[in-house]
Structure 1
């Protein structure tokens, strides 16, 4: 079982969308996929089919339920552990527990017989206990970044956090890759291309070949709580995310 966290210490770069899209692509390919919404904003939860929201990640954080207890099917080969706003308070309490980094690592034990990939959507806040717990539980972290200076700084910060997690809690954690969102080499935006060049010079092979173009089909599908396969099967968004999923599998 592979456990991937999508993380960047900056909001709006495509973490949630990438978990949603890659999860659906993996499930479409026949893999059994669990998506964990570890962000109290619950955006991942809101772009998937409705489930019983009384069964959510907060219960796991509070020690009142196990992960299998709150996994809900949201499609073929696809399950969700939902988030609600109650996660805000739960995360504050969690941060006072000395063993909090091990929360999700313990929670996913025993899932390997039933799940091939666990994808975790992490909160963007710096030093979030749930982000640290997600990275501690993960085999790889994937980093969505936009071609701009703030994302560049966020990537550097995330890589530094990853090194700390490797040293302290999870030596098996690896950086799976950094991929660009709302970007294409064909876009006529010279400043964006300059930042991409800078990122490739700085991070080398960590920068993935696949990039995700800006596409309205993503927002439209999420509003409808449908996958791209259902809402926009001919879209560039699906082409891009299928390519990203293949590259993620190849890097696993």
Structure 2
């Protein structure tokens, strides 16, 4: 999105801060988070940071999210707090929220604020089982909290497209049968450029723009933007 000239805010809601905050900001971040703002402990201006990439800002995550989540639950109507905060982020063309790999209040908070959601999934049985849970949970949010929420699609990461007849390929085909071709977004092929770019704290599109993964993420971005 940034490479297309859009101003983007990456909002990290993963308490482990294992990828997004570590790559775009710093490893082992322990500072304020989105919930610090929702709980009145900080302002957006205090915690949004610029990244090395022009046009891309980050609202970081930290382990504090785990303790803050239980406090957030005491606020009436807390599921809608992020949605009500979004008008204060009007300087961005897009806000992209990275959710934790679990179904809980942080994910619900994000889905209640979102227009569309995309589900990354590994082509493995356990991840495939979790995919069904995610779609069902999003349906509950859509029916009760956010009627405009729509599925942009599902995409597989670290995918081996040539491994036909394997569990990897069978999982993708099962997803196609259940959700339809229209629900499948471009996949991200397995590529060593991804972990290498993370080690250098860069996006793969910046670190190695000619790599398979960078090309795949470009295709994925175009597909998601079409869904908006």
TM-score, with normalisation over the residues of structure 2?
A: 0.91
**Contact between 2:8 and 2:56, CA under 8 Å: does it hold in 1?**
yes
**Contact between 2:176 and 2:184, CA under 8 Å: does it hold in 1?**
no
Paired position in structure 2 for 1:33: 8
Q: How far apart, CA to CA, are the structure 1 residues paired with 2:102 and 2:185?
A: 27
Larger relative contact order (Cα-Cα within 8 Å, sequence gap ≥ 6) = 1
**Contact between 2:111 and 2:117, CA under 8 Å: does it hold in 1?**
yes
Output one character per residue of 1:132-171: Cα deviation in whole Å (capped at 9) or x when no partner. Answer: 0100000011001122222222111111111111111100
Output one character per residue of 1:77-101: Cα deviation in whole Å (capped at 9) or x when no partner. Answer: 1000011111110011112323110
Matched residues, number: 225
Change (3 A) 1:189 1:213: farther
**Contact between 1:181 and 1:214, CA under 8 Å: does it hold in 2?**
yes
Report the RMSD for the aligned CA atoms in angstroms: 1.9
Q: How far apart, CA to CA, are the structure 1 residues paired with 2:127 and 2:149?
A: 22
**Unpaired segments of 5 or more residues in structure 1?**
1-25
**Unpaired segments of 5 or more residues in structure 2?**
none
Partner residue of 1:76 out of 50, 54, 61: 54
Paired position in structure 1 for 2:124: 148
1:95 aligns with 2:70: no
Residue 176 of structure 1 deviates from its aligned partner by 0.7
Q: How far apart, CA to CA, are the structure 2 residues paired with 1:150 and 1:229?
A: 29
